[in-house]
Amino acid sequence: MIAQLPLGTEGPQLPQLGLGCMGMSEFYGETDDAQSLTVLDRAYELGVRMFDTADMYGNGHNEELLARFLKNGRPEAFVATKFGIRKAPGEYARTIDNSPDYIRQACDASLQRLGGERIDLYYVHRAEAGRNIEDTMGVLADLVAAGKIARIGLSEVSADTLRRAHAVHSVAAVQSEYSLTTRDMKVEVLPTCRELGIAFVAYSPLGRGLLSGAIDREALSEDDFRRHTPRFSEDALEANTARLGTLTAIADQREATAAQVALAWALAKGVFAIPGTKRLTYLEQNIAAASLTLSDDDIARLDSAYAPGTFVGERYTAEGMKGVNA
């Protein structure tokens, strides 16, 4: 059984563990729609309700894939999608666009691909530098009033931007990378979310697989974007893997995998988590982690061993960092 949390002060109660769908379309090597649909079906069967996508994942493919899943009758599915990153198919280079016309066009395009009448949660994927967040929120508020989106979310924003946005229209959720490898959010953004009654959604709660302790860089396909990120360079990956001793020791004590302990740690922080996978085995292991209860001592040991700055290498390249902490 997956515990539930409220999505903000006005949102529904949802299972704390969701599913990140990005890798089903690109960034993590070869994809297989039939396999992904099997994973989506199984996730729903096991109690997952939050399915996370974005218009830029596969340049629309990911939303279309979710639409195929939703057609099978998934009345409780809660779909979150995003706008704001524009890139050419197959390219990593991107621009950040929060212009009013683009927001409206992107929303209509996502609705068409998803095959629905309203988006449950619509995130600003990245805030555009030089553009007032108040203006962006004004356009999104109009989309709420028009019935096209139910709730507004922000991704990878600063605490200051979050406060300014929330003053214009209520923000239901903030989504940012958060795991034992990336804990920057705990300093300002997480406390601000709690103060304002905004849900926090952790993406990459397993550090893009790093916390499994099983990443073989040479086995990553050429189109796996991790091959090009500083944290997964040969030297950084070796150094970071060597830092996993406390995590693996607790996993051994709990008769769990390192990834399950890392995910249980994130859930223990009272946030939503949306680990991504396109494989049934990993899906089922992740869901089992929702039933793993860590002791206060376990959590304290992990907090101490993996303080911010413990892991080496930036989480993205400079291109990928565009719009982060805006």
Check the CA dihedral 67-71-75-76 and report its sign. Answer: negative
Nearby residues of 259 by Cβ (< 8 Å), 6 or more positions away: 206, 209, 211, 212, 282, 285, 286, 289
Six-digit token string for 171: 């923000």
The answer to whether the beta carbons of residues 259 and 286 sit under 8 Å apart is: yes
Closest-CA residue to 231 (of 243, 221, 222): 243
92 catalytically annotated: no
CA separation, residue 179 to residues 13, 128, 227, 266 (Å): 23, 25, 20, 6
Six-digit token string for 127: 């805030």
50 forms beta bridges with 78
**One of 57, 123, 178, 282 is an active-site residue; which one?**
57
- Catalytic amino acids? 57
